[in-house]
Amino acid sequence: MDEQLFFKKLNSLCTSKEILYFLSSLEVMSDTMASGALQKISELEVDDNGLKTPALLENEVFRALCFQFEFESSKLSNTGLLNALQALIKLCIDPESTLMTSLLSESEERLGRGQLTAEHLCALGESLLELEGPSCAMLEQIVNHLQERDIKSWSPREIVMVYKILQVTVREGKGWQSLLNRLNGVTLRAASQLSPNFVSVILNSLVALHQTRAVLLVTALCKHSVQHVPYFTDHELVNVLEAFLYFGQKMQVFTEALERHVPKSLHTMHPQTVSKVMQYCCKMMILSKPIFDAVAEGFISSAERLTTDQIAAYIIPFGTLNYLPPSASFLFRKLETVLHTRLSHFQPHTLLNLLHSCVLIQRYPINFLPKIFSPYFLQKLQAQPPGLNRVVMSQLTQLFLTVTLECPFYEGPKLLSKYQVKAFPTLQSPLDVHLFKRVKTGLLYLLKKRIYFASEVSTPYFYVVDIEIKLDEEGFVLPAAQLEEVHRRIALCVDGQNRFCAHSHNLLGEEAIKQRHLQLLGYEVVQIPFFEIESLQNTRKIADYLHKKIFPCTYGLSN
């Protein structure tokens, strides 16, 4: 039968039984046709659970096909040999069988003789990765041959396969950066034609290969991934999000694509994918209300099916980004129920991160704090990485300060002083140096002398105040160093862009709780956000603005 006619007929068949019956009617067929039939059978017979019909391997026609490949391997075409090898690996044929040994041995000989094209090298590499994993010695040989080939004519499938092979060989400590540089250049030109799967695989390889210098390629792939968001599988979307995180890519169009896709697909998405979406939003400080609202609803309806790590991944971003969804009361009621039934299942650091994120948005885990402050739990925290480092102790201290200031009715165990830090710099966003300098210049113009305000003041209550101004009983400004007759203290919070969610005026949870606590500790908190001051052109205008904000009752006295 003519090959073209054969493959047309083969592709119209829907079961392996039909294929084997069709093959039994043929007197002669080429090795390409036979290997094509094996590939079609493997596509139909293998799913995520393995081989659907194990009895297939005992079928007379199937065994006859295998016999041909086993005893005539040296006569096979490269395509026939490598297609058959791929199909038989997929069908879980014993790697130690004489059939597989014969095909692998013939492949190795042809590789050594340099008889394989780039397409065949990639096919062999794919088979070896599937069969033997990254430790396979022949993979290095394949890469050596690929180095010598002209890669400009490679198909997207070949490009993807080479990335996969390099991903494991480089991990083994072998350097192929010159080949990678050429490959990255070719991929950049083909980026706009890549399928969702190919985009995901390549981005995953670029992360594994630490290709931080391939900025143009990474940017092109991330831009191209926007149109694929609705079509990525869960696994593919996770790969893409990990690449965005690793390379620090933050694109508004990508966020918008996620906002269109996630809310309507959440009920079918794997919880691990949802967790990765929330991690991406949290790390990139992206407060996406459509995504957060949908995730809150999803948590309410399916929290029982989530692992403890997934529960934390769903909830922590709400605290970090200082956002309460419309369903907040149901969300935190559900969280409390889950914690009551599964508290002992949480890893210590996961539980601390989760409860700390709750207090940032004024959701107080009163019932669970006795456990957190218990010596036994603190010992468990210390025993597991990262131990009781400064960040962990800052979280514990802030939890303790929260119940002290905001939950005076709490009568459980207290946090021992040896677990408390003296200041919270690790939990606060650093100062925007440029903005801070402009505010100090404006204050100097307003107050005339530098002695009337202090900057970066440590308080007895763990927080560091950006700028502190002291007033006496009559409202006059006192020298910052004066300790007596201080009637009022004003804390200026100089909030740069890094203290807000991305492209938003929504203060981050850590900054919101700091300002809340400073007020409860007796400070008059005055927020100086970047978006109010960035348009002011000169020092006089900044001083005027500060006078209105800090001393609204006496505005005009400095003129």
pLDDT tens string 384-426? 999 999 999 999 999 999 999 999 899 999 999 999 988 876 5
* Domain of residue 553, residue span: 433-557
Nearest to 166 by CA among 185, 179, 153: 179
- Region 221-243 average pLDDT: 97
Q: Please tell me the pTM assigned to this model.
A: 0.87
- Region 55-68 average pLDDT: 91
**What does the pLDDT read at residue 410?**
92
Residue 424 covered by a domain: no
Residue 533 covered by a domain: yes
Q: How many helices (H) and strands (E) does the chain have?
A: 26, 7
First-to-last C-alpha distance (Å) of the chain: 99
**Domain termination residue (choose one: 115, 133, 158):** 115
**What does the pLDDT read at residue 558?**
43
- Region 22-34 average pLDDT: 91
Omega into 386 within 30° of 0, i.e. cis? Answer: yes
Residue 36 covered by a domain: yes
**What does the pLDDT read at residue 559?**
43
208: which 2 tokens? 């594994």
Nearest to 141 by CA among 115, 177, 160: 115
* Integer Cα distance of 461 and 467 in angstroms: 15
**What does the pLDDT read at residue 557?**
45
Handedness of CA 205, 211, 217, 221 (dihedral sign): positive
Q: Does 428 score more than 80 pLDDT?
A: no
Residue 528 covered by a domain: yes
- Region 301-325 average pLDDT: 97
Find all residues with CB under 8 Å of 445, minimum gap 6, and list them. 539, 540, 542, 543
Contact 485, 472 (CB under 8 A): yes
**Domain termination residue (choose one: 88, 115, 142):** 115
> Structural domain tally of the chain?
2
- Region 457-470 average pLDDT: 91
Residue 494 covered by a domain: yes
Residue 44 covered by a domain: yes
156: which 2 tokens? 């997207």
* Integer Cα distance of 405 and 86 in angstroms: 66
Predicted confidence band of residue 244 (pLDDT cuts 50, 70, 90): very high
Residue 64 covered by a domain: yes
501: which 2 tokens? 């969610």
Contact 31, 77 (CB under 8 A): yes
Residue 12 covered by a domain: yes
pLDDT digits (tens, 9 = 90+) for 471-529: 999 999 999 999 999 999 999 999 999 999 999 999 999 999 999 999 999 999 999 99
Residue 478: enclosing H or E segment and its boundaries?
strand 477-478
pLDDT digits (tens, 9 = 90+) for 281-291: 999 999 999 99
- Region 97-119 average pLDDT: 93
- Region 153-180 average pLDDT: 82
Q: Does 172 score more than 60 pLDDT?
A: no
Lowest mean pLDDT among 152-166, 243-257, 460-474, 543-557: 543-557
Phi, psi of 507 (to 5 degrees): -65, 140
- Region 24-44 average pLDDT: 92
Predicted confidence band of residue 167 (pLDDT cuts 50, 70, 90): confident
- Average pLDDT of the residues of the chain: 92
Residue 46: enclosing H or E segment and its boundaries?
strand 46-47
* Integer Cα distance of 398 and 409 in angstroms: 17
99: which 2 tokens? 């059939």
Nearest to 69 by CA among 31, 27, 40: 31
